[in-house]
A and B are shown apart, each in its own frame.
Chain A
């Protein structure tokens, strides 16, 4: 191999009349040998610097740089270039040679010195000096022994960031121990990590607990891992997928996930049912709610809410429902209030999330669909619900007072089928419903349209347009001149 490389070099150099010998014009054989080895090294070239010392190498290199290169290799040598090379020389001597250190850019300096004509034409000494100057004017030294791996390892993460990665690690240990050894099992972790998870302190017993849960769950609920194992051959892909799931598990770190999976099926069914009836008869909603109330439904609702992305009605119903619930709690059932509050928050979460491009497209589709079927889009309801500050009974009362006439219409429906205690609340609810409809019709636009959307449309029509920052009025906006 080395011979072959040598031959190549020889061949190339004989073609080049301006190089006096076959050592790239390098006078010192020692320097030539070193640079030559360096240039043939594809990986870990820096290891070569472990075998030499700055006191050995730098003087040779500097002499080559200062004398041979400008005078013998390049055609034109101007006083200005020579002066700059002198400066470089004294800089390296002062900052590195005297301290017995290499500049951290030493590898590049060697590459440039070894074969300047790989990069520059024979008359371009100035360009060479420009380049070498950029590489040499540094202050920090090469740390050859720094072999810290920049890759984030599972171990690091579990050590640094707490339990989230324990989940990954332990679960993989049960599934496939070899993954850990190969160090490949955290692919794509970067895209999945959930920030707030970090805030929780890691419990010393946590890994064991997780392992238990994981083993139970992976058996009982057949996580996606299994499916992907069958479907996909590509290791990387599969691993990354697994990890996602692992992390999910790690995050949830308690029974919540279990609940979610358990109830998922039922829920979807419920919802379909529920949506069909939703607009024709409110009282059914209420009844269902009463039944479900007993069960631990916080997560059911939300899970289905998220899961059935394609149906906006879900969200609407959930919004109203939680709305309604909140009243109920305030009025009648204080004990459950915490749970309900949580639920309210949860049902808002999707709205808070910044819509990504894909989401926006989804929402567009949905809202147009809904617009065709009904006068209002569900989003509008939701938005208004939130602005009404559902939790506060005071505000609700005012709303009720304002729109008494509307209430009466709805009450007919409600009265017949609703049990007594929730009657008053239903009234409130329908009031809310109506006012929010009205409100949304006034507003006219769905809040889920990002303002950039319009920009994008425009961009396609106009050739050049400040889409990049046209809506970036914010921080630098209030300039006055």
Chain B
């Protein structure tokens, strides 16, 4: 397993052999297995939101935020789907995790499941690139081992979606058996699917999974668990980040020009040792048509229905 070589190939968006992907997935499972459901992270740390297969923007993210050599990162999930480089993005994160186990924390998002990736692009991408679904299956195995949340310095709770009516304390999250496909309901599902909004109490989510929660729920959670911030992703924010409920909750979104057309900027949130919050905003990489690493592989992939 040549991690450095793999990383450099991935950065160029090149094909990695099935065997290499398998080896990566196996090793990363080993690392993830030992992590708690809510894994501990030290400051200073950079919190990153959804990536969604936008490899070029992920590289920009590392570039703008100091790089993995110098900075600790927490990724809040949704590495795959929608973008054209889901596999490369996810493998790159895994590679970094293997090379710097203390620097990268990966949290599961609602897209890190078999059901969702089948529908929203990751599965199709693998089929297009490999002609079979083996690589997709390896990756899904890794998804099952991803942590459900992270806690930074016992002060900031990180999760992909939001809170759950079934979860009052972080200890209750630690009791979940997370090594499974995300269920359709219950605490594990809600953590990955819920959204904050201006509502009085727990409400049904328009997504069909998870709940919508408001300031009351957030305040209660913060108080019960003695944390001061909930950092989450899961929703597109045009400005890259959005603080809600008097700064008790923040949404961080790290996929600029989401789906290559939303025109949003992206942000990462750096938490300093004194828990000061610094946001770094970055823009999407401009697509270069006709160049080898064109972001949207339109012209060429259109060919596939000629034959």
Q: Which residues of A contact B (CB under 8 A)?
A: 43-44, 104-105, 107-108, 112, 124, 127, 130-132, 134-135, 137-140, 143, 146-152, 156, 161, 186-195, 197-198, 234, 236-237, 239-240, 244, 248, 251-252, 256, 260, 302-303, 306, 349-350, 353-354, 356-358, 456, 459-460, 463-470, 472-479, 481
Contacts and interface: CB of A to CB of B under 8 A. Distances in A.
A303 B236 contact: no
A130 B5 contact: no
B148 to A, nearest CB: 16
B300 A192 contact: yes
Of the listed residues A150, A156, A186, A188, the one surrounded by the most CB atoms of chain B closer than 10 A to its CB is A150
A468 B235 contact: yes
B208 A190 contact: no
A350 B305 contact: yes
A201 to B, nearest CB: 14
26 contacts: A108-B99, A108-B101, A127-B42, A131-B102, A134-B101, A135-B102, A148-B2, A150-B2, A151-B14, A152-B14, A191-B84, A195-B132, A236-B292, A251-B307, A306-B306, A357-B260, A358-B296, A459-B236, A464-B236, A464-B238, A472-B207, A474-B115, A475-B119, A476-B193, A477-B208, A479-B209
Interface string B1-33: 110111001001111110110000011001100
Interface in B268-307: 290-293, 296-298, 300-301, 303-307
Contacts of B262: 456, 459-460, 467
B119 A472 contact: yes
Nearest to B288: A237
Contacts of A358: 296, 298
Contacts of B306: 260, 302-303, 306
B303 A248 contact: yes
B207 A473 contact: yes
Closest 6 CB pairs of A and B: A131-B102, A150-B20, A475-B115, A476-B209, A477-B208, A152-B15
Given A195-B127, A237-B291, A479 B78 contact: no
Contacts, number: 212
B263 A190 contact: no
Contacts of A193: 128-131
B223 interface: no
Given A150-B17, A476-B193, A476-B209, A464 B305 contact: no
B102 A356 contact: no
Nearest to B70: A119
Given A127-B42, A303-B306, 19 more contacts: A44-B4, A138-B30, A140-B26, A146-B1, A148-B19, A151-B14, A187-B14, A189-B15, A192-B303, A193-B131, A195-B131, A248-B303, A357-B260, A466-B195, A468-B50, A468-B78, A472-B120, A475-B184, A476-B193
Nearest to A43: B4
Nearest to A42: B4
Interface in B243-268: 251, 258-263
Contact of B185 (A108, A191, A234, A479): A479
Contacts of B150: none
Contacts of A303: 306
Contacts of B193: 469, 476
A230 B71 CA distance: 45
B78 A150 contact: no
Nearest to B236: A467
A480 B225 CA distance: 29
Nearest to A480: B185
